[in-house]
Structure 1
Amino acid sequence: MDASDAGGQKGAARRARLRQYQEQLLERMQAARTSSGARAHQLGVEIGGVRYLLDLVEAGEIVPLPPLAAVPLTQPWYLGLANVRGSLLGVVDLARYLDPDALPAAAPAAGARLVTFAPGLAFPCALLVGRVVGLRHAADMTSEGGRLLDADGREWTPLSLAGLAREERFLQVAR
């Protein structure tokens, strides 16, 4: 076996492990959606160093960051278009959207992912997330002063993708 065969096998094994992880996560997300407490489970993500909880009913797929096609004359927080399984999705840097005066973000880290909006929202968009933390259960958190805190005292901010898709400023990507 030559070096190219070994490299190809390693890449194939890595893709198989990633596919298996995604399938397991999808199964858990679907189970959470169909359970009686569908709103009790959220997907935890980190965006710009802030922890957010996304409703599983509103979140679609989690995909590795594909190449982005820049769109001229758009807002700095609109990163461009991504082809995800044959569908074009607008990609938004939420941290930059929420803080327009922030300096341009550095290149996305190796663990960066896209979280797409659920098909039921009929909004072809995805958020760039720095890290997917995993499923969180709201009942395990405490509410103090309008903040949600997990058992370790870390703060989480609920984020409604449906609400975001209705915001006038979010819909205006042109400069």
Structure 2
Amino acid sequence: MSGDTLPVEARFGGARPDAAGRRARLRQYQQQLLERMQAARLSGGARLQQLGVMIGTERFLVDLTQTGEIVPLAPICTVPLTQPWYLGLANIRGNLVGIIDYARYLDAGETAVAPDSRMLTFAHSLGFNCAILVNRVYGLRQASDMQVAGERLVDADNNEWLVLDLAELVQDPRFLHVAAAT
């Protein structure tokens, strides 16, 4: 029997059961997180929740209404003649998304890629097909439970947090011009 007449599964090994299980668990986790994020958005009288993330060496709180989804790292295609903080484009669920290293944007080093790294997409309502590279996702946080210390918030464990306003970021002229100066 030639290779051309074998079923597709036999020729290409088929889907590995462990990979299919991981995908199913990841989809379930993403669905649960999406449901929690939507519930937080819809609860008008409830306390405002933010998503805690690590970018570079800093912890940031991002308003849930400004975030899309958290996705595993995908291959990033670099784009020539762009700013160093514009890492390039990634295919996320069939959409090309610009990937930003916010630490580099702030001139605060770079965001190291590690096993816990993720891409945090912007909410569709911001009108920007973009994602920020994050070292780590800490989950939901309550800024109202934190103490204000200058421009930072301090949680009960004495961790310092900065607020990242994505809606403000997409209004910044510097952010809007990713082309490198020539």
- The partner residue of 1:140 within 145, 163, 177 is 145
Shift of residue 148, structure 1, vs aligned partner: 0.7
5 Å-filtered alignment, 1:11-90, equals: 11-37=19-45, 40-90=48-98
1:5-26 residue CA offsets vs partner (Å, 9 max, x unmatched): 8x81111111111111111111
Secondary structure at the aligned position of 1:151 is classed as coil
Aligned-partner Cα distance in 2 for 1:132–1:105: 13
Shift of residue 105, structure 1, vs aligned partner: 5.5
Flag structure 1 segments of 5+ consecutive residues without an equivalent. Answer: none
Shift of residue 137, structure 1, vs aligned partner: 1.1
Structure whose CA Rg is larger: 2
Aligned-partner Cα distance in 1 for 2:46–2:104: 30
- The partner residue of 1:126 within 125, 131, 134 is 131
Aligned-partner Cα distance in 2 for 1:38–1:163: 23
The aligned length equals 168
Secondary structure at the aligned position of 1:128 is classed as strand
Aligned-partner Cα distance in 2 for 1:152–1:82: 35
Shift of residue 160, structure 1, vs aligned partner: 0.3
Q: Percent identity?
A: 60
Residues 143, 70 of structure 1: CA spacing in aligned structure 2 closer, same or farther, 3 A cutoff?
same
Displaced runs of 4 or more, over 4 A:
none
- Contact 1:79 1:92 (8 Å CA) reproduced: yes
1:42-89 residue CA offsets vs partner (Å, 9 max, x unmatched): 011000021000011111111111111110011111100111122111
- The partner residue of 2:16 within 1, 4, 8 is 8
TM norm structure 1: 0.89
Flag structure 2 segments of 5+ consecutive residues without an equivalent. Answer: 1-12
TM norm structure 2: 0.86
- Contact 2:47 2:144 (8 Å CA) reproduced: no
RMSD of equivalent CA atoms: 1.8
Residues 34, 65 of structure 1: CA spacing in aligned structure 2 closer, same or farther, 3 A cutoff?
same
Shift of residue 171, structure 1, vs aligned partner: 1.0
Secondary structure at the aligned position of 1:166 is classed as coil
